[in-house]
Chain A
Amino acid sequence: MHMARRYFRVRIASEGPLLADQFGAAVTDVVRRYFGEVGLVRIEPRMIKFDAQRSEAVFACRRDAASQFEAALALLSHVYDAGVAPIVVGISGTIKGLRRKK
């Protein structure tokens, strides 16, 4: 069954250089921490793209849990003891739409 998704363009401000895996894992961890394993399954966050040079990432989650995913992103403040600010700069129902919003 097709699951409707929401796509988030996230600008990342961080104290040090970030790796895609580290950041993706940190986002998964923060969702798990605040919403639990069931919440993680329900939200289903996924990192689609990570651009270290532009400090940007694109995430997808289930559409009906978009608000929870956004709140979880707001609660992420550290990745391996380094301060980090993930700022949502665009939300769309398609990746194409997200690109258009740039």
Chain B
Amino acid sequence: MADYYETKDLADFSNIGEYSPKLGEKYFDYYGEAMKAGALSAREKALIALAVATTQKCPYCIDAYTNSCLSLGVSAEEMMEAVHVGSAMAAGMVLAHSTQMRKIIKKKEM
């Protein structure tokens, strides 16, 4: 377990095509296209990626996109706002599932 989530493993990300180079190449092509500036700026995409990274609790992605945001001149306050968007979405998803609970309560209670 001690070897899980080591900081230096982020640098190994470029090798994820190992054992399956064709699929790896397709993934990186897709990733590159999706992440480059288009209708949304590189800055906006980095903030979306940071919010996703935190909600999905991926330490590599949090490392990568905190650094990307810093490099793109995003302030700490802007990054925290993006994290709160992710957090609010996650909270909403939990609360939305209380619908099921509330329906059951209403059905079961006299």
Q: Decide whether A and B assemble into one complex.
A: no
Which residues of A approach B to under 8 Å, CB–CB? none
